[in-house]
A = this chain, B = another copy of it.
Amino acid sequence: MSSRSVEELFAGQIRGYTLSQALHLDPAVYQLELERIWRTNWLFAAHTAELRRAGDRTVFDIGDDSALVVRGEDGKLRAFHNVCRHRGSRLVDDTIATFAAALPYAGAGGRPPDPFIRCPYHQWAYRLDGSLAACGGMDRMAGFNTREHGLCPVECAEVGGLVFVRFERPPSPSGSPDIYELGQPLLPQRLEKAKVAYSQSYLVGAGWKVVWENNRECWHCHVGHPEYIRSHFDTANTASADVQQQMAARTATMVEALSGLCAGDVYDGGGLATFPSPGRAWSVHRTPLVEGFATESLDGQPVAPLMGEYKSFGVGVLRLRALPNFWCHASADHAVTTRLAPAGLDRTEVVVTWLVDEGAVEDRDYSLERLLPVWERTSEQDWQLCERNQRGIRSSGYRPGPLSDRHEANVAAFHNWYREAMAGG
């Protein structure tokens, strides 16, 4: 699909209305999204918590591609295509028990990680930096150059306990802020000192854009997310004077609790925290919780020990989102990350992960029963709303509809970002 035809595709698109059916259902659009959005943006792949020791490794599959992320002997994370340079076998299978490796001291009693990446087919072996270490004697063949048969690299960035990969550099310098800038607002949460408490994967019957449109407004929260909305304001400028006063008070308390800690931008829950803007693929802010809520739990009570630099509850929630595949809500005592991967025009693979402080011990310091419900239910409610939306969009009776200027300005902002990204940047 040429740039010209992209323009044509958006030609009939009315600003402030939902996307045309073609943008949701045309296979050529999907291919262009893979090329212009999914290959050239940083994608959240994993948590530092899963990759502590030299030799620890994990895999992030996206479509037919697979990124293998490995901690080197030098402590650096690197990513490679998860494909052997000999016959092309996949190197590391889907599921690795990295959770155990992520536990503190697990290495002490357990087997240390393999210092090589070994192909299970013919035992070619690569060092943790991707260079070829063994190939069954094929290096004795005339013309065989060992240096030409290292693993194919994928860009990798580790920041604030989060691991991102990028399959290709964008063609033109992007206006997006450097991914490493994420580190500053994430600092007090210390996700790099967290451990994975639980992880849940979903195959959602809706395209990735429908999932983001759902994420970019909380109008549906008030009926659709009864558990979530207990602890959050998210009033979208519809707050009464009384509620406005509560928001102001809770914000003041939060700023005080954070005193001395790098806290990121503050959003009081009243208006809309505008995101995205064209060219800006990620943002972070901090929001107070409703009175009586120390964390995002069903009853407002803490569900785990304090994380990171926090000295007390009352620090609100750190909200982070990074297009096209990540968002996170981090409370004082736990964090929940959501990772997306497109799985076709109308399917999205989602992994939701709960993190707590690395020192917390299950059934002593926290229980899954109390930790999971808010985001497990909220996530599953969203997937159902998204699937219904996708089904309606497939109908010949679908017409682009108007977006609420009050509630859905960030859906329109997402469309603007999308349009610019599809135009090539």
Chain A contact residues, CB within 8 Å of chain B: 18, 64-66, 80-91, 93, 120-123, 136-138, 141, 144, 149, 152, 154, 167, 213, 219-220, 223-224, 385, 388-389, 391-402, 404-407
Contact = CB atoms under 8 A, between A and B. Distances in A.
10 contacts: A85-B401, A88-B389, A88-B400, A90-B391, A93-B388, A120-B385, A122-B219, A136-B407, A141-B404, A167-B396
Contact of A389 (B89, B149, B219, B407): B89
A219 B213 CA distance: 51
A18 B88 contact: yes
Given A81-B395, A399-B85, A388 B138 contact: no
B392 A88 contact: yes
A116 to B, nearest CB: 14
Contacts of A84: 392, 401
A401 B167 contact: no
Nearest to A401: B86
A167 B396 CA distance: 9
Contact of A396 (B64, B213, B397): B64
Chain A at the B interface: SS class = loop
Given A136-B404, A219-B122, A402-B141, A152 B392 contact: no
Copy total for this chain? 3
Contacts of A66: 391, 395, 397
B136 A395 contact: no
A119 to B, nearest CB: 9
A9 to B, nearest CB: 18
A277 B380 CA distance: 52
A90 B388 contact: yes
A404 B138 contact: yes
A79 to B, nearest CB: 11
Given A85-B401, A136-B219, A136-B407, A396 B90 contact: no
A121 B121 CA distance: 50
